[in-house]
Amino acid sequence: VASGLGAGARPAVAATEDANALIMEFTGGAEPAMGRVTLDVPEIAENGNTVPMDVFVESPMTDEDHVTDVLIVADGNPRAGVATFHFSPMSGVAQANTRIRLAGTQNVIAVAKMSDGSVFMDRKEVKVTIGGCGG
């Protein structure tokens, strides 16, 4: 029987710092502005083992002006990093969908980097009934 987070569990404050550090590393220190990014996650997730997550970024997706990368972090997980999507003009649309694990109620944050280096974000809280780290 798996025993949940065990020794890996850390206070939420540490996890939030971890998330911020990941975001700053991703943006090169720039503070992302809210906007252009739409993060779609459920308000309430009964099962933290598999929470649907969709991200869309407004962009023409041309060679000159496109989304290059989108970082997804979860600020209450034992490790904040979730995934980084890499797009190209051949994506046509900067949108991706996956399923993620959330250890408990927390914020999910999506940060998008554009081809001109500008950065944008969206943040949503997900209330998790049964945490998804112990499996």
Partner 1 sequence: MATPRPRIRLDRNEIAAGETIEVKTLVSHIMESGQRRDGDGNVIPRKIINTFKCEFEGQTVFSCDIEPAVSANPYFQFMVKPPRSGTLTFTWIDDDGTEITATEDVVVN
Nearer to partner 1, 59 or 120 (CB): 59
Residue ranges binding partner 1 (CB under 8 A): 1-3, 5-6, 8, 49-51, 61, 74, 77-79, 81-93, 95-102, 132-135
Q: Which is nearer to partner 1, 33 or 62 (CB)?
A: 62
Find the shortest distance in angstroms from Cβ 71 to partner 1.
Answer: 9
By beta-carbon proximity to partner 1, the closer residue of 86 and 127 is 86
Token pair for 7: 């020794």
Minimum CB separation from partner 1 for residue 49, in Å? 6
Helix (H) or strand (E) holding 99: strand 94-100
Smallest separation, CB 34 to partner 1 (Å): 23
Task: Compute the radius of gyration of the chain from its Cα atoms.
Answer: 15
Q: Please write down the HEC assignment for all residues of 24-87.
A: HHHHCCCCCEECCEEEECCCEEEECCCEEEEEEECCCCCCCCCEEEEEEEECCCCCCEEEEEEC
Q: Which is nearer to partner 1, 32 or 59 (CB)?
A: 59
CA distance 12 to 129: 17
Shortest separation between residue 85's beta carbon and partner 1, angstroms: 5
